[in-house]
Amino acid sequence: MPGSGDGSPGAPGEAADSGNRPFIVAIDGPAGAGKSTAARRLAARLGFALVDTGAIYRAVALAASRAGIAFDDDRRLAILLPGLRIRFEAPPLDQAAAGQKTILGDEDVSLEIREPPMSLGASAVSARPVVRAALLDLQRRLAAAPSHPGSVLEGRDIGTVVFPDADVKVFLTASPEVRARRRYDELVAKGQTVSVEQVLADQQKRDRDDSQRAVAPLRPAPDAFLLDTSDLCADAVVDALATAVEVRLEQRGRPV
């Protein structure tokens, strides 16, 4: 489990002191750019913790939906957030390929948060400043896992807001068609019935909302390394990211 915190969102804090915290790799980019696969495999290769911040927003959307709270009801979201416990748990060794689990309270919600309504719900709650502020400190605490030499965080605003002083910042992207096809293949592999057209339409709405929102819009940090993954296989993406990390570790005089 990548985290030392108790898993509940706290008040927004200052960015962690880069001298005292683990090595941070920030991977941002739109849905379907290949962030999840790249982040998971990079974290495994480096022995780093993995913090999937989209899963955190998804868990908030699920909790709100179960409580009958509208995704734009700031007053009720503000009451809900402090009571939520969200954390990640490593899978059993024989299920390592399944990736880590997202736990809300004591319940494994990994599958439910991936369903299309929660994709749109996560995008909606993530536009609310009250939600972003409450989750900032949780994301930083999960990344400060003392059990790991570093953390890989994937999201939309890691390099711009959560860790503006991250050691390595990467912005992954890919053409809209490639991204929609990847998400479609993922959903079909999970047994969901969707059409590519629907996935593309949902993605276009999310892209628009995520990049036009007033707070922490999706955009590359000025010092991020941009990587278009449209024509790259997952291995090539992970190799490129691992090289960027190794270069930075060497610059900092830390062993790879």
For ligand DC, the binding residues (CB under 6 A) are 31, 53-55, 57-58, 119, 122-123, 126, 155-157, 206, 210
Dist CA 232 CA 181 (whole Å): 14
Residue closer to ligand DC, measured from CB, 53 or 229: 53
* Contact call for residues 24 and 151 (beta carbons, < 8 A): yes
Question: Measured from the CB of residue 250, what is the shortest distance to ligand DC in angstroms?
Answer: 28
Question: Measured from the CB of residue 236, what is the shortest distance to ligand DC in angstroms?
Answer: 21
Residue closer to ligand DC, measured from CB, 139 or 249: 139
Question: Measured from the CB of residue 251, what is the shortest distance to ligand DC in angstroms?
Answer: 26
Question: Measured from the CB of residue 171, what is the shortest distance to ligand DC in angstroms?
Answer: 13
Q: Please, what's the largest Cα pairwise distance for the chain? A: 51
Residue closer to ligand DC, measured from CB, 9 or 54: 54
Residue closer to ligand DC, measured from CB, 44 or 215: 215
Q: Which two tokens stand for residue 235?
A: 């291995």
Contacts of residue 110, Cβ cutoff 8 Å, sequence gap at least 6: 55, 99, 101, 102
Residues 213-248 as b or e (16 or more Cβ within 10 Å = b): beebebebbeebeebebeebeeeebbebbbebbeeb
Residue closer to ligand DC, measured from CB, 122 or 166: 122
Question: Measured from the CB of residue 6, what is the shortest distance to ligand DC in angstroms?
Answer: 20
